Amino acid sequence: MVDEKQLHAYYENYNAALQFLVAKQNGRKMEDYLKALGYNSVAVYGMNDLGNCVVRELKDSKTVRLLYALDQGSPKLYFDIDCYKLDEVPPNKKPDIVIVTLPYLYDEIHKDIERTLGRPTISITQLVYDMDV
Amino acid sequence: MCGILGGTKKTWNYKKALNSIVHRGPDGKRINCFDDFTMGFVRLSIIDLSDNGMQPMEDTSHSVALTFNGEIYGFEPLRNDLMEKGYSFRSTTDSEVILNSYLEWGDRFVEHIDGMYAIAILDRREKKLKLFRDIAGIKPLYYYYNGRDFAYASELKAITSLINDTSLQIDNTAILDFYNFLCIPAPKTIYKDVFKLEQACELVYDYERGAVESNASFWSLKPNAEEGNEIIYDKLGTVKELVSESIGEQLVADVPVGGFLSGGMDSSIITVEALAKTDSYQTFSIGFYDHRNNELPYVRCLEEKYGFNGNKYFVKKNEFRDLYNNLKEWYDEPFADTSAYPTFIVSREAKKKCKVMLSGEGGDELFAGYPRHLRLKDFESGRKTTVDEDLEFIYQWYVFRPLPEHKKLKKRLGISDDYDMFWFLRKHYHKDLPPITRMQYMEFYTYLSDDILPKTDRVSMANSLEVRVPFLSKKLIEYAFSLSQNERCPNGILKYVLKNAYNSELPHNLINRRKEGFTIPESFFGMGVMPQERIEELFLGTKIIEK
């Protein structure tokens, strides 16, 4: 039996990953888009495969600083980067924006993240579509 | 594009009714009382922005008054003709051209004009109020008639606001029709005694006697009844000329003009033709954060070929949720075409930069763009079917509930068993036409006029944005249907004529792409629920049939 929720989650991940690929093939850079919006520093929430793609994309950026990763569970960390739980974030290290890499959960969790950190969030899905326009 | 209304009773609240449609015309408002009839108008200034274009508009002897919503295309030569006949003009508006055309030709003035229109003419010499609606039903026109009193208006909300009559009864057959067709088809509305004037019709109301004298068609589509052979090259050229001419005429405005660009063939053709005629043309496109619904890659193909960068806007789920209940406000009666939502949003974005938009409605109906246009041919292939069998087969493409559920619905709504659920299709179904032509003809008088065009009118007007539809010029409609079936759709190739006419102008992936509807992702409505079921609850409060 197919778990509909899980299927939906896989589709959302696929949708975001596919659009990320399309945007990259169109020559887009995530750092350019974030910079154009006025963001100088980011954090990545959700260290799954998509989260690691975002880290790979931004870790060497000279225009947008990747401060750290955030994860409430057991993160996959393929890169040398600090990773905190939401309530462990050092108070003097707040990012301009948090990229949430759990598209199927974004609606449920983004308000909590924004309230805890006092910073705006953006869904990975919106980010990879908007950066391609 | 404007809002019009009028009525017989002096005690009706014309100011309140006019305010209810002020979104159709925020640039000016006027109510005039003439003898036994009052006319009101809200203006969206598009041509001649001066007060000379204000309505109700009267002739110099005050014997004829006009309120008009819409645009007349290519009216300048007609204006010149009338001037040569001795008529004078205070304005450069098309409204005054209609007025003087009526003075010259009487009711037959409609034979001399082309455009989108809902016209009300008060002829005080004859003591008559005459309503006219354009041949495709682009502009709406509602009227109330209880056997004595009469009112008309551009939107249903203005009628109900005007008469403020709590004795207005719901027409249960209209509710059943909503389930059948996802809209309430003309001439019905949700209320008894309130009607839609059908397309290409003239209604005459004698306000001295208090009686509707006539309600009849002034034009009818005469399709080619031949199966015929594949189209010859010259005719493709003619189609292209007519499309180009129509777009040229519909770019005329004293305000910024742009176009909706969906990534489909029709809007792309309009864009290419418009860009060739004016540098100031801007496009507006909608995207979704979901590859299943996002058509922006096709938009980009056209942009890259022609070197322009249109306006693009992504619709977010929370934005849709905020708009969800607005469907009731926009349509005033049950209406379940969910493409109303993205159309509202793209209209809203377009209004920030333009006041007039060109849109591709009509291309599929004229040139066989829907896969279902072929299904009837397959269904009939090799056998003789009855009209009832055909209608039962066709019907499935419009409904979201299976046929057996309708028997339960009839019972719940107190409608007799012998009520013809297919009446709306049957009325425009001509078995003597070859099947693809037959489907196109029927949809010109049903799906196009009662779903597609009202959908666009209400949500664009909710943003005070005028939308014009170049594919629905009279010349193009008549020419498209003058082609034989095989000229329009040889070997089952949908949109064959447009594909070949614009083969060198459009990117090939755009020409060959699959036909997609313009709608909201189903996930916006919640998983496992058909959008129309949610809309049923929105308008009717509950599901009439519980699962």
- Across the A:B interface, residue pairs with CB atoms under 8 Å apart total 27
Q: Do A107 and B317 touch (CB under 8 A)?
A: yes
The domain over range A4-130 is classified in CATH as 3.30.420.10: no
Q: A48 or B524, which is more confident?
A: A48
Q: Given this model, what pLDDT does residue B547 score? A: 40
**Contact call for residues B39 and B18 (beta carbons, < 8 A):** no
Q: Given this model, what pLDDT does residue B254 score? A: 87
Please report which confidence band the pLDDT of residue B546 belongs to, taking 50, 70 and 90 as the band edges. Answer: very low
Q: Which of B17-21, B167-171, B366-370, B463-467 has the lowest mean pLDDT?
A: B167-171
User: What is the residue type of B461?
Assistant: M
Q: Given this model, what pLDDT does residue B529 score? A: 56
Residues in A lying within 8 Å of B, measured between beta carbons: 4, 8, 15, 18-19, 22, 107, 123, 125-126, 129-130, 133
Q: Given this model, what pLDDT does residue B498 score? A: 95
Q: What are phi and psi of B472, to 5 degrees?
A: -105, 35
pLDDT tens digits, B470-488: 999 999 999 999 999 999 9
Please report which confidence band the pLDDT of residue B316 belongs to, taking 50, 70 and 90 as the band edges. Answer: confident
Among A8, A107, A126, beta carbon nearest to B289: A126
Q: Do A19 and B291 touch (CB under 8 A)?
A: yes
pLDDT tens digits, B13-27: 999 999 999 999 999
A chain contacts of residue B316, beta-carbon cutoff 8 Å: 126
- For residue A127, the number of C-alpha atoms closer than 13 Å in the C-beta half-sphere is 32
Q: Given this model, what pLDDT does residue B105 score? A: 97
Pairwise CA distance, residues B318 & B340, whole Å: 16
Domain boundaries, chain B: 3-217, 233-370+456-536
Q: Do B290 and A15 touch (CB under 8 A)?
A: yes
A chain contacts of residue B522, beta-carbon cutoff 8 Å: none
Pairwise CA distance, residues A99 & A126, whole Å: 10
Q: What is the 3-state secondary structure (H, E, C) of A66-87?
A: EEEEECCCCCCCCCCCCEECHH
**Among all residues of chain A, which has the CA nearest to that of B287?**
A129
B chain contacts of residue A22, beta-carbon cutoff 8 Å: 297
pLDDT surpassing 90 at residue B522: no
Residue among A18, A104, A129 with most chain B CBs within 10 A, to mutate: A129
Q: Do A22 and B297 touch (CB under 8 A)?
A: yes
pLDDT tens digits, B327-351: 889 999 999 888 899 999 999 999 9
Look up tokens 């792409």; give the residue: B513
Pairwise CA distance, residues B527 & A4, whole Å: 9
**Contact call for residues A98 and A51 (beta carbons, < 8 A):** no
A chain contacts of residue B287, beta-carbon cutoff 8 Å: 129, 133
- A101-109: which pairs have CB atoms within 8 A and are 24 or more residues apart? A101/A16, A101/A44, A101/A45, A101/A46, A101/A47, A101/A48, A101/A50, A101/A51, A101/A54, A102/A45, A102/A46, A102/A48, A103/A12, A103/A13, A103/A15, A103/A16, A103/A50, A104/A8, A104/A9, A104/A12, A104/A13, A105/A9, A107/B317, A107/B318
Q: Write down how long chain B is.
A: 547
pLDDT surpassing 90 at residue B406: no
Q: A133 or B155, which is more confident?
A: B155
B chain contacts of residue A107, beta-carbon cutoff 8 Å: 317-318
Residue among B261, B286, B288, B289 with most chain A CBs within 10 A, to mutate: B289
A chain contacts of residue B296, beta-carbon cutoff 8 Å: 133
pLDDT tens digits, B85-142: 999 999 999 999 999 999 999 999 999 999 999 999 999 999 999 999 999 999 999 9
- For residue B502, the number of C-alpha atoms closer than 13 Å in the C-beta half-sphere is 29
| 3-state DSSP assignment of residue B430 | coil
- B516-519: which pairs have CB atoms within 8 A and are 24 or more residues apart? B516/B264, B516/B295, B517/B339, B518/B262, B518/B264, B518/B286, B518/B339, B518/B342, B518/B343, B519/B293, B519/B338, B519/B339, B519/B341, B519/B342
Q: Do B289 and A129 touch (CB under 8 A)?
A: yes
Q: Given this model, what pLDDT does residue A76 score? A: 87
Of the candidates A97, A85, A19, the residue with the CA atom closest to the CA atom of residue A46: A85
Q: In this structure, which CATH number among 3.30.70.20, 1.10.3720.10, 3.40.50.880, 3.40.50.620 belongs to the domain B233-370+456-536?
A: 3.40.50.620
pLDDT surpassing 50 at residue B456: yes
What is the distance in angstroms between the Cα of B529 and the nearest Cα belonging to chain A? 13
Q: Do B314 and A126 touch (CB under 8 A)?
A: yes
Q: Given this model, what pLDDT does residue B379 score? A: 87
- For residue B216, the number of C-alpha atoms closer than 13 Å in the C-beta half-sphere is 5
Q: Given this model, what pLDDT does residue B403 score? A: 62
Domain boundaries, chain A: 4-130
Residue B504 CA to chain centroid, in angstroms? Answer: 30
ipTM over 0.90: no
pLDDT surpassing 90 at residue A21: yes
Q: Is the Cα dihedral B162, B167, B172, B175 positive or negative?
A: positive
- Virtual CA dihedral for B527, B531, B537, B540, nearest 10 degrees? -170
B chain contacts of residue A133, beta-carbon cutoff 8 Å: 287, 296, 312, 314
Pairwise CA distance, residues B314 & A28, whole Å: 18
pLDDT surpassing 70 at residue B533: no
| 3-state DSSP assignment of residue B422 | coil
Q: B430 or B379, which is more confident?
A: B430
pTM of the model: 0.90
* Domains B3-217 and B233-370+456-536 fall in the same CATH topology: no
C-alpha pair distances (Å), B274 with each of B67, B75, B260, B369 = 30, 19, 12, 22
Q: B318 or B497, which is more confident?
A: B497
pLDDT tens digits, B36-60: 899 999 999 887 777 888 999 999 9
pLDDT tens digits, A45-77: 999 999 999 999 999 999 999 999 999 998 888
Average pLDDT on B515-541 reads 69
Of the candidates B517, B181, B459, B519, the residue with the CA atom closest to the CA atom of residue B339: B519
Average pLDDT on B434-453 reads 96
Q: Do B289 and A15 touch (CB under 8 A)?
A: yes
What is the distance in angstroms between the Cα of A71 and the nearest Cα belonging to chain B? 24
What is the DSSP code string of B190-234? SBTTEEEPPTTEEEEEETTTTEEEEEEES-----------PPPHH
Kindly state the helix (H) or strand (E) to which residue B258 belongs, with its residue range: strand B257-260
B chain contacts of residue A130, beta-carbon cutoff 8 Å: 314
Among B314, B317, B527, beta carbon nearest to A129: B314
pLDDT surpassing 60 at residue B528: no
Q: Do B291 and A4 touch (CB under 8 A)?
A: no
pLDDT tens digits, B211-234: 999 999 999 999 999 998 877 788
A chain contacts of residue B315, beta-carbon cutoff 8 Å: none
What is the DSSP code string of B51-115? GGG-SSEE-TTSSEEEEEEEEETTHHHHHHHHHHTT---SSS-HHHHHHHHHHHHGGGGGGG--E
Q: Do B314 and A130 touch (CB under 8 A)?
A: yes
Q: Do A125 and B289 touch (CB under 8 A)?
A: yes
Q: Is the Cα dihedral B282, B288, B290, B295 positive or negative?
A: negative
Q: Mean pLDDT, chain B, as a whole number? A: 91
For residue B317, what are its two tokens?
């789920």
Pairwise CA distance, residues A54 & A101, whole Å: 8
Please report which confidence band the pLDDT of residue B167 belongs to, taking 50, 70 and 90 as the band edges. Answer: confident
Q: Given this model, what pLDDT does residue B48 score? A: 72
Pairwise CA distance, residues B156 & B151, whole Å: 11
Q: Given this model, what pLDDT does residue B237 score? A: 93
- Checking phi first, is residue B37 left (phi over 0); if not, alpha (psi -120 to 50) or beta? beta
Q: Given this model, what pLDDT does residue B395 score? A: 83
Q: Given this model, what pLDDT does residue B532 score? A: 66
Pairwise CA distance, residues B405 & B394, whole Å: 17
Q: Do B291 and A18 touch (CB under 8 A)?
A: yes
- Checking phi first, is residue B384 left (phi over 0); if not, alpha (psi -120 to 50) or beta? beta
Q: Is the Cα dihedral B172, B178, B184, B185 positive or negative?
A: negative
C-alpha pair distances (Å), A79 with each of A52, A76, A97 = 8, 9, 20
B chain contacts of residue A19, beta-carbon cutoff 8 Å: 289, 291
The architecture that CATH gives domain B3-217 is: 4-Layer Sandwich (3.60)
Among B312, B316, B317, beta carbon nearest to A133: B312
